[in-house]
Structure 1
Amino acid sequence: MHVSPLRAASTLALALSAATLAASAQAAPAELYIDAATHAMPGMPGMGAMGRLAGAMGGQRPSYGMTRHPGMPGRYLDVALYNRAAPGQPATQAVPKGLQLGNSIELLARERGRDEAAGSHDGSGGLGLADGASYRVRYFWGCGEQARSGQPVEYSMTVRNGKPVQGGRAMAPRQVPAQGPDIGPQHVLWPNPGARRGVSDTASLVGTHRLEGSGLPASLQFALDRGDDFLPRIELDSTGSPGEGMALEWNPVDGARGYFIHAMASQGDTIVMWSSSEDGYAGPELMDYLPEALLAQWTGKRTVLGADARSCRIPAEVFAGVEATPVVQMIAYGGQRSIAEPRPADAGRDWSPAWTVRVRSKSTAMLMPGLAAGATRDAARPAAKETARGLLRGLLGN
């Protein structure tokens, strides 16, 4: 039985996650996770504060998990608490005024129906291809005027007599270990159905935070500083055209520890993908939080652009002859900080912290070069939809 590279990589990632959980058997009785994200869509009309207001008026409320893959521009916050003394019981988190959410936020359990709907999906169902259908994926990587020798790498699949026939070389995703909590009924979260609004574009986490609730340690109080706060927006801009090569430039993002860019476009049955990685192709799996050790390793190998990078050129060969508008995604990786209950001066040898906090941040941007500044948002949707359809067909159908 054929096992796709994507599925094999997912299985390996799950094994690594299980090993990580086993190694953390001595975890603190109370664990708090705080994820902060900033998202921008440079040049897209109708976005920004007005776009988010329209979304709110349309009934779109913030929900836990939106920091992973934000939709509208703005700032996003996810908070998850696991209290071993009282799993799934509500808690109150006092927050600084700068967060602009009042004096506190309520951490509540996720609705059961939401848990079931949010179950994992490994892509095993696939999207399916009709007999005789085919698709082709072309991979590029590296910044520069021209594509490197040996590029593109190509992979194809054709269905013959109901069986897939593969050609070329499929690029396996990079191995990014699972991080953070595996959300279940034992966690309480914010945002939740009771959250009336998300964080504003000027919100700040800086200041003192304190948690109270059944079974929580009385000492669960900590302070976040500027290094733990939301990252600024990425002001990403492009010159040139997709068919002749594009020069990408961006502002220095204060607090960023590295950058990564991924672009893709689809036309017919061909999907073209490119990344800024210098040591071989890297995919959309890097458009997420990365463990600090892995980020340092990949920065050294130039998989990730350094914190001092301010520009990158997509070679002309990448999108030459592709009429569809490419989607360019960029991420600035922020810091990750772990905080634990301070050790008392009179603590014995067997003392261990009663609580831990993990805080991490990132800033992302999505750019669709070639769309006129005055174009309507509706004009941008078909291109994004077609690109997404091509990506899913290429990867999940793999």
Structure 2
Amino acid sequence: MKTRSNHLTTALTAAVAGLACAAASPHAKAAKAELHVEVSTHTMPGMGGLGALGRLTGNMSGGSATYGQARHPGMPGRYLDIALDNDARPGAPATQAVPKDLRLGKSIDLRAPERSTSAASGSNDGGGIPGLDEDRSYEIRYYWGCGDASRTGQPRKVTTTVRNGKPATSGSAPQPRAMPQLGVTVDPGLALWPNPSSRKAVSGKASLVGAHSVTGDGLAQAIEFEIDRAQDFMPDLDLKSEGSASEGITLGWNGVDGARAYFIHAMGMDGDTIVLWSSSEDGYAGPELMAYLPGNTVSQWLGTRTLLSPEARRCSIPKEIFAAEPMVQMIAYGGTRTIEGQDWRVHLRNKSTAMLMGSGMGAGAISGEAAKEGARKTGKDTAKGLLRGLIGR
């Protein structure tokens, strides 16, 4: 028995030692390199020449693109963000060969981002409330659901007073929906496009369809994959508004090819009152939903009627919720797909969004400088920043 016990002990010790060596060995299986490809189409219906300008330049900075615009587009156009997360060589440059129809040449360079200096320069950290007056109380009203009249039990109300740029709040605000975290947070360990050395805006006629290949230091093999039309830039979301705030606003839109679901959020201001509404039928949902969603979450939220079905083409904002035409944001959720190789994964995501600026957003409450900033930024950022300042989200 003793001999058998010794043999067992020796075998276990050897096994544990082997596992430890494998974990410590540089030849142990490394984490896979992750390539994130995010595409977005954004429109601002009714903006006339601005829409054409947006498609020509990509944004208001004269045609230069920056990483992150696909998630939060400001001006009309097509946007592309690519991030390589390679643990073997964090931040090492890479080159991605792309199809000619992308209209960016034969290849694009992925480079590490520049270190941000915004915190050191004293920029707004999101805790204040730009454009709103100090020592002044605001009431926030929450509504939800399409229809001619608001539901019983609405609105939910919160009162907040701004002091030293911070909110003092009374009442119970609906909590933001828990959103699945997709993509990456920008840091020097990534290789990105666009980047400081490559800022060319994507053409309004660009297409990602075709073969792609990523090569670079630290990649055991080239990341080679194909993008089909299901993951290409989605068509424009042509959102239209009819009616009036007092009699009810009817929103209508085209069917977007590839859309798995839709969601709408609106925001308006009337003096000291801020009004928020969403198309969700199962309780208020906020601008946090103006983002990429994985397929299982889309399916789940279609079932709970948080999202509108892909067959939906109209939604009415109940009358007398808004004092004037609100700022309206809408999203058509595209598909998500993961392609896996031996040493890498590619994550593909797409969406199409639209924004109507409206006439009742910030009149008499938001300063001219804040209004200019709102034109440069996406509606999602504008609404989320305002809410974060008002109720500490």
Contact 1:28 1:356 in 2 (8 A): no
Amino acid at match of 1:337: R
5 Å matches for 1:49-128? 49-53=52-56, 58-113=61-116, 123-124=126-127
1:363 maps to 352
Aligned-pair distance for 1:277? 0.2
Contact 2:162 2:390 in 1 (8 A): no
Aligned-pair distance for 1:50? 2.5
Aligned-pair distance for 1:306? 0.9
- Secondary structure of the 2:301 match is helix
Q: Describe the superposition over 1:377-397 as per-residue Cα deviations: whole angstroms up to 9, x where unpaired.
A: x9xx67967x98887454313
Unaligned runs of 5+ in 1: 1-25, 342-352, 372-377
5 Å matches for 1:315-326? 315-319=318-322, 322-323=323-324, 325-326=325-326
5 Å matches for 1:241-252? 241-252=244-255
1:168 maps to 171
> Within 2, Cα distance between the matches of 1:363 and 1:27?
36
2:184 maps to 181
5 Å matches for 1:1-398? 28-53=31-56, 58-113=61-116, 123-124=126-127, 132-158=135-161, 166-319=169-322, 322-323=323-324, 325-341=325-341, 353-369=342-358, 392-398=385-391
> Within 2, Cα distance between the matches of 1:99 and 1:149?
50
Amino acid at match of 1:329: Q
> Within 2, Cα distance between the matches of 1:103 and 1:335?
26
Contact 1:137 1:273 in 2 (8 A): yes
Unaligned runs of 5+ in 2: 1-28, 361-367
Aligned-pair distance for 1:58? 4.9
Report the CA distance shift for 1:162/1:74 in structure 2 as closer, same or farther (over 3 A). closer
Q: Describe the superposition over 1:72-100 as per-residue Cα deviations: whole angstroms up to 9, x where unpaired.
A: 10100000001222211110000011111
Question: Which one is further off, 77-86 or 276-285?
Answer: 77-86
- Secondary structure of the 1:238 match is strand
Contact 2:234 2:350 in 1 (8 A): yes
TM-score normalised per structure 1: 0.79
Contact 2:54 2:77 in 1 (8 A): no
Aligned-pair distance for 1:293? 1.7
Contact 2:167 2:389 in 1 (8 A): no
Amino acid at match of 1:247: T
Aligned-pair distance for 1:146? 0.8
Contact 1:271 1:394 in 2 (8 A): no
The two structures, once aligned, show a CA RMSD in angstroms of: 3.2
> Within 1, Cα distance between the matches of 2:122 and 2:180?
18
> Within 2, Cα distance between the matches of 1:134 and 1:182?
35
> Within 2, Cα distance between the matches of 1:259 and 1:362?
10
- Secondary structure of the 1:317 match is coil
Report the CA distance shift for 1:116/1:180 in structure 2 as closer, same or farther (over 3 A). farther
Report the CA distance shift for 1:56/1:360 in structure 2 as closer, same or farther (over 3 A). closer
Aligned-pair distance for 1:267? 1.9
> Within 2, Cα distance between the matches of 1:49 and 1:55?
10
Q: Describe the superposition over 1:177-212 as per-residue Cα deviations: whole angstroms up to 9, x where unpaired.
A: 322122211100000112241111111111000011
Q: Describe the superposition over 1:292-314 as per-residue Cα deviations: whole angstroms up to 9, x where unpaired.
A: 22221111100010111111010
Contact 1:115 1:184 in 2 (8 A): no
Report the CA distance shift for 1:159/1:33 in structure 2 as closer, same or farther (over 3 A). closer
- Secondary structure of the 2:49 match is coil
Aligned-pair distance for 1:291? 2.2
Contact 1:238 1:369 in 2 (8 A): no
Question: Which one is further off, 256-265 or 192-201?
Answer: 192-201
TM-score normalised per structure 2: 0.80
Report the CA distance shift for 1:39/1:130 in structure 2 as closer, same or farther (over 3 A). closer
Contact 1:91 1:106 in 2 (8 A): yes
Report the CA distance shift for 1:159/1:234 in structure 2 as closer, same or farther (over 3 A). closer
Report the CA distance shift for 1:171/1:219 in structure 2 as closer, same or farther (over 3 A). same
Amino acid at match of 1:213: G
- Secondary structure of the 1:396 match is helix
Amino acid at match of 1:334: G
